[in-house]
Amino acid sequence: MRIPWRQTLMSYTFLAPALILLAVFTFYPLVYGAYLGFTEYTGARFAQGLGPKFTGLDNFRTLAGDPLFHTAIWNSVRYLLVVPVLQLASLAVAVLVNKELPGMTWFRAAYYVPVVTSVSLAAVMFEWVFNREGVLNWVLTSLHLTTPQKAIGWLNSETWAFFAVMLVTFWRGFGYYMVLYLAGLQTIPQELEEAAVLDGANPWQRFWRVTVPLMRPTILLCTLLSTIAALRVLEEVLVLTNGGPLNSTYTALMYVYAKAFQGFDFNYGLASAAGLVVAAVALIISAVNFRLFRTDDVAEGA
C-alpha cells in the first residue's frame, strides 16, 4: 500500500522537533565524542584555539598501558554485582507493596524518598552510618557482632569501602526500580493470578511461574537501566571515597571525569576514548541481558 506523500510529510513534520532535539543533544555529541576518542585534544590545544588532532589509536594504546584505567574498568565491572541484588530486592518489595492494604501508599512513597534525595545529603548521612564511631558499628556492637576496639572504618577499608558505596547505590536505586516493577505488576491480568490460585499454586509458585514470566519485559528494562547505571556510577563514589582507599572504589566514569573535567590539564581525547571503552562494555553486557531476558519465548508461550 502506498502512503500519500502528504501524509508522509505530515508525519515527519510532527516528528521533526523531537528529531532535531535528538540530533543536537544526543546524536551529534555521540558521534563527535566517538571521533574525539581518536584525537589528541588537550587543555593546551584548546586554550590555543587549536581543534582536535587525529591520532588514530594512540589514546586506546595509552589506556591499554594505564594500570589506573585497568583498575577503574575492573571496579566498574565488579560494581555490576549490585544489579541482581538490587533487581531481586526491588521486585520482591514491589510484589509486597502491590497489595491494597492500609498504609501501603505510605510505604511506596517511603521507599521512593532516597531516589529524590540529593547525593550530597546522602553522603553526609552515610558518613554517619559508615564512620568508625558511626551507626553501623553501633548496631553491630549492640548485637555483639563486634566490639568498639574491632570497629571498622568502612569507607577507609580497602576491603569494605567498595561494598559500602555499593550499598548507597542500592539505597538510591531501590525505590526507582520498585516503582517500575509496581507499574509492571499492575498490568498483569488479575484472572491469571486467580486461575493459578484455582490450580492450587502457592504464592511462591505463583511468583515464579506467573509473575516473573509476565514481568520479563519490565525485568529486562530495569536490568538494563541498572546495568548501565552501575557501569556509570560516579556521584556516590566521588563524594564518599573519591575513589579510595588505594583506588579500590575508583570506577571507569571517575577516570573519564578526571580526564575530561578535573582542571586545566584536561584531555578530551583520552576521556572520550575511555568513554568509548565503557560504552563498549555496556553494549556487550546489554546484549547478554537481552539474551537472558528475551521476551519472544513468553510471546510464543502466550
Partner 1 sequence: MKRTLTALTLALGLSAAASAQAQTTVTFWTWYLSPKFDDYIKTTIAAFEKANPDIKVNWADKQDSMVQDFISSVNLGNAPDVVNLNIDETQKAAQNGFLRAASDLTSAATLKATFYPQSLANFTSGGKVYAYPWYGWLNEGVLLYNPDLFKKAGLTRAPRTTSELIADAKIVKDKTGAYAWVPALKDPNTASFLGYFYAEGLPIYAADGKAAFNTPAHAALLSQFVDLYKGGYVPEDAVRREAFQLATELYGQNRVAMIIGGPQALTRIKDTNPNLYASTVVTSAPLGKANVQTGGSMALVVPTASKNPAAAAKLAAYFTNNANQLAFAKVVSVVPTTLGAQTSTQFKTSSTDPVAKATALVGASGRYINPGYKAPGNSDDLYKNFNDNIEAALLGKKTAQQALTDAVTYWNANMKK
**Residue 54's Cα: distance from chain center in Å?**
32
Cell of 114: 532516597
Contact between residue 98 and residue 186 where contact means Cβ atoms under 8 Å apart: yes
Listed ranges 52-60, 195-203, 255-263, 293-301: which one lies at the site for partner 1 (CB under 8 A): 255-263
Give min distance, CB of 264 to partner 1, in A.
Answer: 4
Residue 38 touches partner 1, criterion: CB under 8 A? no
Residue 168 touches partner 1, criterion: CB under 8 A? no
Residue 122 touches partner 1, criterion: CB under 8 A? no
Nearer to partner 1, 97 or 270 (CB): 270
* Cα Rg of the chain, angstroms: 24
Residue 208 touches partner 1, criterion: CB under 8 A? no
Residue 29 touches partner 1, criterion: CB under 8 A? no
The Cα-based distances of 150 to 138, 141, 154, 159 in angstroms read: 11, 9, 12, 15
d(CA 35, CA 42): 14
Task: Please list, in sequence order, all residues whose beta carbon lies within 8 angstroms of the beta carbon of residue 225, skipping any fewer than 6 positions away.
Answer: 177
Residue 51 touches partner 1, criterion: CB under 8 A? no
Task: Report the residue from 119, 132, 201, 207 that binds partner 1 according to the rule CB under 8 A.
Answer: 132
Residue 153 touches partner 1, criterion: CB under 8 A? yes
Task: Report the residue from 14, 128, 261, 290 that binds partner 1 according to the rule CB under 8 A.
Answer: 261
Give min distance, CB of 257 to partner 1, in A.
Answer: 11
Cell of 58: 594512540
Residue 137 touches partner 1, criterion: CB under 8 A? no
Residue 263 touches partner 1, criterion: CB under 8 A? yes
Residue 197 touches partner 1, criterion: CB under 8 A? no
Contact between residue 185 and residue 255 where contact means Cβ atoms under 8 Å apart: no
What one-letter code names the amino acid at 98?
N
Give min distance, CB of 127 to partner 1, in A.
Answer: 9
Nearer to partner 1, 164 or 276 (CB): 164
Which class for 188: exposed (0-12), middle (13-18), buried (19 or more C-beta within 10 A)?
Answer: middle
**CA 139, 118, 174, 182 torsion: positive or negative?**
positive
Residue 113 touches partner 1, criterion: CB under 8 A? no
**CA 230, 86, 216, 289 torsion: positive or negative?**
positive
Nearer to partner 1, 157 or 286 (CB): 157
Pairing of strands 39-40, 53-54: antiparallel
Listed ranges 90-98, 109-117, 169-177, 238-246: which one lies at the site for partner 1 (CB under 8 A): 238-246
**Residues of span 266-285 touching partner 1 by CB under 8 A:** 266
Nearer to partner 1, 4 or 65 (CB): 65
Give min distance, CB of 143 to partner 1, in A.
Answer: 23
Element (H, E) at 89: helix 82-97
Helices (H), ranges, 216-295: 216-231, 235-240, 252-261, 268-292
Q: Which residues bind partner 1 (CB under 8 A)?
A: 42-44, 46-48, 68, 131-132, 153, 155-156, 158, 241-242, 244-247, 258, 261-266
